[in-house]
Every structure is written in structure tokens, then in C-alpha cells.
């Protein structure tokens, strides 16, 4: 019964968000983000690798009910939002028009800072970083790397909002360096954010017709970055020799998809519910405060995902992702899960309100942070996702202050 209810809601959501003529807003992205990460539940299992062996786990009824609680408020919220006449999500002015010298200079400062922190990262780790095992490299990366990848993501989305191709390709190249280091997430988020931005500029549409090519592009991006993980480590360590020797057969690709992140996340949720993983409420609260407020690391508790991994999968020597739904459930059961699902859906209209801004900094901040909030949230703890969003918003605030100072300086020169 639980699986049938989940499948019914899943199918209802797909039909609604693909066939109804509407803006491709935050509700749309949140649903499709959930649909990708919850797809393993359609097949009925999750998976993970243990001691070199592929392990599949059948989902329990309780897991399906958690997914229902997560998806239903998104659909209901969208129905309520669409029942009243909403504002257009197209930008208030044509992108790329009226670019001031201060705007260009601000973007240059963001680019210079991204390059600076990338060089600091490489200087601190060394060129061996491009061939090290990812788990070993992650232990050596610090704030320089965090600042680099967030600045590069913000700059990529900002340059797309401004229609400045040269800068867009430059920031894209920086994120390709991050890919060469073994990390895919920010490159995916940047490309997905740009695609989403273009979709909103088209106004109301049906995804199955006018938005079909964008949906195909989105699906291709998801599949590409999912399959890429299976090859990325080998390419980094063996280069073109690995490419020549790698298995590109259909069976290998299917196996890679079956062991991909959504299946691992689904297994984590399933096992966490089955074995009743729990965490102290005070630790959860401290994690939320760390996620919201900068420089509050001194009160940070032990990572929930690390506690989860050591408790349920002690044989695994690499970091496992988490689930915000398990995060909430492990602290407050069904009550906190319902509250978080409702609160999450309530944030989506707020995102919609800022999407149509004509200010490129606002658009970069909204799309850069919202793409993570609507997709990658399903692989993170709540506190980590709040931290990810806060970092992008703080960079946007810094960019705004830089532009403000530059504009003041320009006005003083004119008066002089």
C-alpha cells in the first residue's frame, strides 16, 4: 500500500509538472530534483558498495511513506500557488542590457578572487592533487577550496545572467579544474542553474511541448554527470591510458547507474529508518545554527552523516552522503519530518519572488543557491545544505558591496 501511494504521487507529479502550462519555477525544480533522487524507489531498491561488492537493499514500507511526506507538500504547494495568478518569472529587463562599468569590474573582482583561491588551493596541496585519491584529497582541502568553488559557481551564473560569454566560459573553465580535481557537484549545479534560468525566461510553457528540448538537455546532464563518476577517478589517476582501457559497455553503464548517488542515498534513508538511527536533538539544533550563522563553527557538533556512516557502515572507508529526510526523522520522528517538509515547501514561493529580479547579483544569488536547495538537498544533512546556501548568499552580499563602492567612486570622479 505504501509503495502504491508513493508511485501514484510520483506519477501525478510528473504529469502535472510536464503537462500543465506554467512557469518552470522553484516548485518545478524541487519536484524534478526529488524525482531524480527518489527514482530508485520506483524500482524498489537502494544500493551501496561494501568491501568491493555491490549490495542492493529492498525498500521498507516506512521508506515509501517518508518519500510521500517529502513530495506531497511540493505538489500541493504548487497547486495552491498556481490557483492564483502569479507573476512572470522572466527578468524585469532584458539580460545583458545597460551593463555598467561597475558591473563589469565587480565580475572581474569575483573572477580574480576565484583564481586567487584556486592558486592557493593548488599551492597548499600541490600538483599531486590532480592524481590523488579523492578521499585523501578531501582531507587536505580547506577554506581556500571552498571559497574557490563557490566564487566560480556564483561567477558562472552571474555571467550567464549578464549574457557575458567570455566571462561565462572563463568561469566554466575554472569549474572544469574542479572537475579535474575529482569534484563534479559545482559544475553540475552551475550548468543546471543556467539551464533553469533560460527556462524561466521563456515564461509559462508545457514541458512536454515547448520545453521538451530543455527537458531532454536536463535529463542528459543528469545522466552524464551520474555516469561520469564511474570514470572520473580512473581518468585522474591513469589519464588517457584509462580511457583506452575503460569499459564503455551497456552493462557497465547500467551497473554504474544502479550504484549511483540516488541509489546510495535511498539505501541510506532505508537503512537509517530500519535500524532506527537517531541523533541528539541538541546536536541537530547546533548544526542548524552553524548552517545559518557564519563563523559559528566553534559550536558545530560531529557531522550527522559521519555518525551515521560509522554506526551503520563501519566497513566503509569513504564518506557517505546523507538525507535531510532521515536527518529530520532521526531527531523528531514523524512530527519533525512533517514540519520540515511543510517548511521546505513554504520556501519555494519565496524563491519565486526573487527570480524575476533585473539585478544580476540577485539573479545569480537566487539561481546559484536555489539550484542546490531544490536538487542537492536530497544528498545532504539540513545543516550542510543551509551552509551551502549561506555561502552563496554571502558572496552575493560581498559582490553587492563591491559594486556599491565602485559606483560611489565613479560618482566622485564625475563630480571632481
Long-range Cβ pairs for the range 49-53 (8 Å, 24+) = 49/259, 49/316, 50/313, 50/315, 50/316, 51/315
Question: Residue 152 above 70 pLDDT?
Answer: yes
pLDDT tens track for 300-344: 777 777 777 777 776 665 566 789 999 999 999 999 999 999 999
DSSP letter assigned to residue 298 = G
Domain that holds residue 281: 2-415
The mean per-residue pLDDT over the stretch 349-353 comes to 93
* Residue 329: partners with Cβ closer than 8 Å, 6 or more residues away: 66, 272, 273, 336, 337
Judge whether 108 and 156 are in contact, CB under 8 Å: no
Give the predicted TM-score (pTM) of the model: 0.91
**Which residues pair with residue 57 across a beta bridge?**
46
Contact 373, 349 (CB under 8 A): no
Question: Tens digits of per-residue pLDDT, 174-215?
Answer: 999 998 888 889 999 999 999 999 999 888 989 988 888 888
Other beta carbons within 10 Å of 320: 18
pLDDT in tens, 13-61: 999 999 999 999 999 999 999 999 999 999 999 988 776 677 888 999 9
Calpha distance 345→347 (Å, rounded): 5
Question: Residue 56's beta-bridge partner residues?
Answer: 47
Number of domains present in the structure of the chain? 1
Amino acid at each position: 500500500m505504501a509503495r502504491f501511494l508513493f508511485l501514484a504521487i510520483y506519477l501525478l507529479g510528473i504529469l502535472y509538472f510536464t503537462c500543465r502550462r506554467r512557469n518552470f519555477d522553484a516548485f518545478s525544480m524541487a519536484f524534478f530534483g526529488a524525482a531524480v533522487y527518489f527514482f530508485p524507489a520506483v524500482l524498489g531498491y537502494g544500493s551501496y558498495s561494501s568491501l568491493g561488492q555491490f549490495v542492493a537493499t529492498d525498500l521498507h514500507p516506512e521508506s515509501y511513506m517518508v518519500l510521500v511526506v517529502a513530495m506531497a507538500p511540493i505538489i500541493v504547494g504548487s497547486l495552491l500557488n498556481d490557483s492564483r495568478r502569479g507573476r512572470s518569472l522572466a527578468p524585469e529587463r532584458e539580460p545583458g542590457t545597460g551593463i555598467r562599468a561597475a558591473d563589469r569590474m565587480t565580475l572581474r573582482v569575483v573572477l580574480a578572487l576565484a583564481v586567487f583561491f584556486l592558486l592557493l588551493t593548488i599551492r597548499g596541496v600541490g600538483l599531486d592533487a590532480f592524481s590523488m585519491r579523492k578521499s585523501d584529497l578531501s582531507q587536505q582541502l580547506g577554506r581556500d577550496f571552498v571559497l574557490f568553488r563557490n566564487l566560480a559557481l556564483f561567477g558562472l551564473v552571474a555571467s550567464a545572467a549578464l549574457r557575458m560569454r567570455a566571462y561565462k566560459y572563463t568561469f566554466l573553465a575554472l569549474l572544469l579544474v574542479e572537475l579535474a580535481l575529482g569534484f563534479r557537484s559545482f559544475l553540475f549545479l552551475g550548468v543546471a542553474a543556467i539551464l533553469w534560468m533560460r527556462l524561466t525566461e521563456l515564461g509559462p510553457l508545457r514541458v512536454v511541448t515547448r520545453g521538451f528540448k530543455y527537458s531532454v538537455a536536463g535529463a542528459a546532464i543528469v545522466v552524464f554527470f551520474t555516469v561520469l563518476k564511474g570514470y572520473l577517478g580512473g581518468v585522474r589517476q591513469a589519464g588517457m591510458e584509462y580511457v583506452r582501457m575503460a569499459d564503455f559497455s551497456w552493462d557497465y553503464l547500467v551497473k554504474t547507474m544502479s550504484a549511483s548517488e540516488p541509489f546510495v542515498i535511498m539505501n541510506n534513508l532505508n537503512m537509517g529508518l530500519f535500524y532506527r538511527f537517531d541523533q541528539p536533538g541538541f546536536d541537530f539544533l547546533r548544526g542548524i545554527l552553524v548552517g545559518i550563522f557564519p563563523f559559528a563553527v566553534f559550536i558545530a557538533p560531529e557531522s550527522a552523516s559521519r555518525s551515521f556512516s560509522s554506526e551503520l557502515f563501519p566497513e566503509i572507508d569513504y564518506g557517505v552522503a546523507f538525507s535531510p529526510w532521515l536527518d529530520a526523522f532521526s531527531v523528531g520522528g514523524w512530527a519533525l519530518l512533517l514540519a520540515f517538509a511543510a517548511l521546505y515547501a513554504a520556501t519555494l514561493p519565496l524563491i519565486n519572488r526573487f527570480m524575476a529580479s533585473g539585478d544580476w547579483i540577485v539573479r545569480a544569488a537566487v539561481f546559484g543557491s536555489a539550484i542546490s536547495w531544490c536538487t542537492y538537498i536530497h544528498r545532504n544533512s539540513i545543516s550542510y545544505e543551509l551552509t551551502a546556501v549561506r555561502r552563496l548568499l554571502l558572496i552575493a552580499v560581498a559582490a553587492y558591496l563591491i559594486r556599491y563602492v565602485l559606483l560611489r567612486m565613479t560618482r566622485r570622479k564625475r563630480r571632481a
